Every structure is written in structure tokens, then in C-alpha cells.
Amino acid sequence: MMFGLFQNRFASQDDAAMRTAMQKGAFLVDVRTASEFAAGSVNGAVNIPLDRIPMELDKFKNKGAVVVFCRSGSRSSQAKAFLDRSGIPNVWNGGTWQDVKAMLKTL
């Protein structure tokens, strides 16, 4: 029970930090396939499918902050882990593209 309490507290801190990053113009990256991206995404987002991230790593360098997202949060979790291991700072897993879109509307 207490673990869940701490987990929720840290999640809200991460959400607040991600929200601040988005307010400051974070690099928004949809890691779904090109066809999924074409069917709808977040305004201002770029599409770099998960399997292309290793080849497109230069696009992530020198960004103040990066928010990755996908359909369910699974691929974006993998993308965040890869970017973290690659030394890209300030990367957040935004979860679903609908979550990121909704958060942007509240900024």
C-alpha cells in the first residue's frame, strides 16, 4: 500500500515536470508507424517510429526536453528507455497520443 502511495506521488511529480517541459516547447515525438501517425496525432509532433529511433538519434540531440508517445504507452516506454541509455537528457514518456493531446489543451 505504501509503495503505491509513493509511486503515485512520483508519478504526479513526473507529470508536473513533463507539463512544464511541454509549456516550454518540448520536442514532441510520436513513435507509432507512419500510417498510425497519418490517421491522427498531436499538433506539432514529428513522427519517428520506434524502430527508426536508433537511425534518427541526431534529431533528439540538443533538445531542451523530449516527450515520446504512442498508442498505448508501450512503444513510448521503450523509446524513452533507449533514449535514456543513449544519453539524451530530459525525456518523458507521455503515454498515449490522446493523453499528450489532452494535456496540451490544458496548457
Q: How far is CA 101 from the centre of its chain?
A: 11
Determine the structural domain holding residue 91 and report its residue range.
Answer: 2-105
Cell for 32?
507509432
Q: What is the pLDDT of residue 75?
A: 97
Which tens digits make up the pLDDT trace of 11-23?
A: 556 888 999 999 9
Look up the CATH number of the domain holding residue 15.
3.40.250.10
Of 70, 88, 91, 103, which is the active-site residue? Answer: 70
Q: What is the pLDDT of residue 3?
A: 37
Q: Is 70 a catalytic residue?
A: yes
Which tens digits make up the pLDDT trace of 51-84?
A: 999 999 999 999 999 999 999 999 999 999 999 9
Instruction: For the full predicted model, state whether its pTM sits above 0.85.
Output: yes
Q: Phi/psi of residue 106, each to 5°?
A: -90, -5
Q: Structural domain tally of the chain?
A: 1
